[in-house]
Amino acid sequence: MRITLKQACDRLFSGDVVAIPTETVYGLAARLTDVRAVQKIFTLKGRPQDNPLIVHVSQIHELDDLVEHVPKRFSLLKNFWPGPLTVILTAQCNYVPSVVRAGLETVGVRMPDSSLTRELISTTGPLVAPSANLSGKPSATCPEHVEADFGKDFPILDGGHCTRGVESTIIALTDAGHWELLRSGAISREDLEKVLGEPPFESPADLAPRSPGQKYRHYAPQAKLKLCEDTKTLTELAKTENFSAILGFDDSPTGLPLISLGSRNDYATNLNALYSALRELDARGFDAVLVDVEFLRTGLGLTLIDRLNRAEK
């Protein structure tokens, strides 16, 4: 059900959860300080309680209530806001409810690049919003995806199709003066390195993931995916009886129905098409799908391979 800005605002103030547009993916939003509404988000999504939520703000000064202090280096990142960058900072635990942080002492904050949603936040105050999909399913990049997961009656503030189509990049600015890349996303690691002046600190592999969400299966269609590093192998496998479709690019091998993500190595376009394509595989009933992953692992190519790897598991 599509609702107006005023209706979204009224519903949020009365303790409801509504779907909101952002440039990355749709979010399932509640007011930060409304603990009961926040809890509804976990129930609706089937989300584990140990997976914290991102707080969305409309202006930088909203950070003053949310975090203990804003590190100096944060100012280097200001050109990424509004935009698809989530920054993990030390939370003001007496203001940011524990359920939002999943008990951590940090909070993830971002300013979405959707003027509609920022206008909403300027009235409601900060909104917490995970991606508007059932836990484990591909994220929603248009209102139809939200309806597919939560039903036709679910209230959606319609902002059309998301312009990025993949989640924000998540970084942590640590007290030790490093930065860490917790989730690759719509901003490339290279672009962040340029601005922050150094590569991200790599935590030892045996430490628990710093971003709890990274340990769960994600972005996965029902269809079983098999990633193929080169088109030659893919062509051979396509000749066997075991697969029903190919997920790839305009110039991928033929022989089976092709779901294309656009031109090879055009990562922004590929990422924008990805979640619709994963949902399409299921809608068309393909059970086993070959995935063409012969593309360069640079820039947003790293985000593309990250999401495809997670979809395969």
Binding site for ligand TXA (CB under 6 A): 22, 24-25, 27, 51-54, 84, 86, 88, 101, 104, 106-108, 112, 129-131, 167-168, 170, 182-183, 210-214
> Which residue number, 53 or 300, has a Cβ lying nearer to ligand TXA?
53
Nearer to Mg ion, 25 or 77 (CB): 25
- Using the minimum distance from each CB to ligand TXA, give the nearer residue, 161 or 226: 161
- Closest approach, Cβ 54 to Mg ion, in A, equals 9
Alpha-carbon torsion (185, 202, 52, 74), positive or negative: negative
Binding-site partner at residue 143 among ligand TXA, Mg ion, none, CB < 5 to 8 Å by type? none
CB 32 within 8 A of CB 96: yes
Cα atoms found within 13 Å of the Cα of residue 180, Cβ hemisphere only:
13
- Residue of this chain nearest to Mg ion (CB atom): 131
Strand partners, 245: 289
Q: Which is nearer to ligand TXA, 154 or 286 (CB)?
A: 154
Question: Residue 272's binding partner, choosing from ligand TXA, Mg ion, none, with beta-carbon cut-off 5 to 8 A by kind?
Answer: none
| Comparison of 39 and 265: residue with beta carbon closer to ligand TXA | 39
From the list Mg ion, ligand TXA, none, pick the one residue 168 interacts with, judged by a Cβ distance below 5 to 8 Å according to partner type: ligand TXA
As measured in angstroms, the least distance from the Cβ of 272 to ligand TXA is 13
Chain position whose Cβ is nearest to ligand TXA: 213
Distances (CA, A) of 33 to 26, 43, 45, 94, 99: 21, 17, 19, 11, 10
Least distance CB 139 / Mg ion (angstroms): 5
Name the residues that contact Mg ion, by CB under 5 A.
Answer: 131
CB 131 to Mg ion: min, Å: 3
Q: Which does 178 bind (CB under 5 to 8 A by kind): Mg ion, ligand TXA, none?
A: none
CB of 167 to ligand TXA, least distance (A): 4
CB atoms within 10 A of CB 121: 27
Q: Which residues lie below 8 Å from residue 111, measured CB to CB, with a gap of 6+? A: 56, 57, 58, 59, 60, 81, 82, 83, 118
Give 131 or 211: the residue with its C-beta nearer to Mg ion: 131
Residue 190 CA: distances (Å) to CA of 20, 122, 185, 197: 29, 32, 12, 10
Nearest Cα to Cα of residue 82 among 149, 138, 164: 164
When the beta carbons of 124 and 131 are compared against Mg ion, the nearer one is 131
Min separation Cβ 225 and ligand TXA, Å = 20
Q: For 274-297, b where at least 16 C-beta lie within 10 A, e where not — what string?
A: bbbbbbbbeeeebeebbbbbbbee
Among Mg ion, ligand TXA, none, what does residue 104 contact (CB within 5–8 Å per kind)?
ligand TXA
CA distances from 134 to 131, 146, 151, 165, 196 (A): 9, 9, 11, 17, 35
Least Å distance, CB 192 to ligand TXA, is 15
Distance CA 17, CA 30 (A): 5
